[in-house]
Amino acid sequence: MSLFGRIFLLNAIVLVVAGAALLLGPVTVSTPVLLTEVLIVGTGVAAVLVANALLIKFGLAPLDRLTRAMRTADLLKPVPRLPARGRGEVAELIRTFNAMLDRLEAERGFSAARALSAQEAERRRVAQELHDEVGQTLTAVLLELKRVADHADDEVRKELHQVQETTRASLDEIRRIARRLRPGVLEELGLTSALKALASESSDRAGLTVRHRIDPDIPPLDPQVELVIYRVAQEALTNTTRHARATRAELHLHVENSAVVLRVRDNGRGIGDSAEGAGISGMRERALLIGAQLQLASPPGGGTEVCLSVPVREPERR
């Protein structure tokens, strides 16, 4: 029976019972009204109101749960679907809402995959241009400066050496940016070497010391999974360098409960009540892309911990 039918039926039953009680019972209404009659009628009206309130409360309880789910739904943080409890339109509404969430998550996953693929392709293109165009140009400038300095007098040679150092520092920065845009070490040497290089590179900046622990029994992973793990570690260390005001960080990759787990923890100021920015949203999108779980927390000792758990499929473990 529909929700409308149940409410209408109960109201009809209550009114019929009340009318029968007035017709068949000994209760009468005098003129003027007696206090006893007022109490009896008031009690009856109160009973009708209580019965209606209870029916509406229990009948609409599934809708309250659905309302809370709608308010807290976040496509970047999937949660278990609501059980389709209730009857009639209520259960159908919950099933429709669950189907809508499934469709939205699937569409978002497809869109995120396309966007991230395009992003990686653009990063590779920019890194290639930085390496081939800007890098080679700066290298040529360095060679020309060296040639001119060899034929200049001492005072001019000293100034040219300063220009050489500035140009060499710019070339190193261009190469570092190109490596961050396109981690060639990940494609050539694998995830373990790439994470070690990332930790070493991050330790050279902003006075941050990064220690890494990478278990040797990491199973072979899909290239897309390795890229997601690398990008999450990269973004976590970038956030640590820019925002955490930390002096130490740890990068740990290990196998735990049939999953490859990446943990990046620092001793900074923690995430507090600050809203999640584009970097964290990007990490969540990448995690959803490979069916992984991403958690951010502030451990009891302070700082921030980023944990990425990637389920390992059986073929990969073999």
Give the range among 112-121, 251-260, 263-272 with minimum mean pLDDT.
Answer: 112-121
**Residue pLDDT, tens place only, 32-88:** 767 777 787 778 778 777 777 777 777 667 777 777 777 777 766 666 777 776 666
Position 315 pLDDT exceeds 50: no
Position 113 pLDDT exceeds 60: yes
Segments forming the whole domain that contains residue 32: 3-71
At 316 the pLDDT is 45
In this structure, is residue 124 part of a structural domain? no
Last residue of a domain, one of 12, 36, 71: 71
Query: In this structure, what token pair is assigned to residue 31?
Result: 């003129």
At 229 the pLDDT is 92
Position 306 pLDDT exceeds 80: yes
For residues 266 and 274, give the distance between their C-alpha atoms in angstroms, rounded to a whole number: 17
**Average pLDDT for residues 113-127, to the nearest whole number?**
76
Phi, psi of 33 (to 5 degrees): -70, 135
In this structure, is residue 147 part of a structural domain? no
Helix (H) or strand (E) holding 102: helix 89-129
Closest by CA position to 194, among listed 204, 182, 205: 182
In this structure, is residue 59 part of a structural domain? yes
Q: What rounded mean pLDDT belongs to the chain?
A: 79
CA 128 vs CA 131, 134, 139, 179, 184: distances in Å: 5, 10, 15, 10, 11
For residues 72 and 103, give the distance between their C-alpha atoms in angstroms, rounded to a whole number: 17
Contacts with 283 (C-beta within 8 Å, 6 or more apart), sequence order = 231, 232, 235, 236, 294, 306, 308
Look at the chain and report how many structural domains it folds into: 2
**Average pLDDT for residues 87-99, to the nearest whole number?**
77
**Average pLDDT for residues 247-260, to the nearest whole number?**
90
For residues 297 and 41, give the distance between their C-alpha atoms in angstroms, rounded to a whole number: 60
b/e map 18-57, b = 16+ CB within 10 Å: eeeeeeeeeeeeeeeeeeeeeebeeebeeeeeeeeeebee
- Place 318 in a pLDDT band, splitting at 50, 70 and 90: very low
Position 89 pLDDT exceeds 80: no
At 88 the pLDDT is 67
Helix (H) or strand (E) holding 174: helix 154-181
b/e map 228-253, b = 16+ CB within 10 Å: bbbbbbbbbbebbbeebebeebbbbb
**CATH code for the domain of 271:** 3.30.565.10
Question: If 0-12 CB within 10 Å is exposed, 13-18 middle and 19+ buried, where does residue 260 land?
Answer: buried
At 144 the pLDDT is 86
Last residue of a domain, one of 71, 99, 123: 71
Q: Order of strands across the sheet with 209-214?
A: 209-214, 248-255, 259-266, 305-311, 293-297
In this structure, is residue 181 part of a structural domain? no
Percent of the chain with pLDDT over 90: 8
At 1 the pLDDT is 60
Query: In this structure, what token pair is assigned to residue 53?
Result: 């309130």
In this structure, is residue 305 part of a structural domain? yes
**Residue pLDDT, tens place only, 172-211:** 888 778 777 777 778 778 888 889 988 888 886 667 888 9
Closest by CA position to 202, among listed 156, 157, 241, 148: 241
Position 308 pLDDT exceeds 90: yes
Query: In this structure, what token pair is assigned to residue 222?
Result: 């899909």
Position 260 pLDDT exceeds 90: yes
In this structure, is residue 106 part of a structural domain? no
Question: If 0-12 CB within 10 Å is exposed, 13-18 middle and 19+ buried, where does residue 166 land?
Answer: exposed
In this structure, is residue 149 part of a structural domain? no
Last residue of a domain, one of 71, 94, 123: 71
**Average pLDDT for residues 211-216, to the nearest whole number?**
90
At 261 the pLDDT is 94
For residues 271 and 243, give the distance between their C-alpha atoms in angstroms, rounded to a whole number: 9
Position 307 pLDDT exceeds 90: yes
For residues 232 and 280, give the distance between their C-alpha atoms in angstroms, rounded to a whole number: 9
Position 317 pLDDT exceeds 60: no
**Average pLDDT for residues 224-238, to the nearest whole number?**
89
For residues 318 and 314, give the distance between their C-alpha atoms in angstroms, rounded to a whole number: 6
Phi, psi of 88 (to 5 degrees): 60, -130
In this structure, is residue 175 part of a structural domain? no
Quick count: other Cβ atoms within 10 Å of Cβ 136? 11
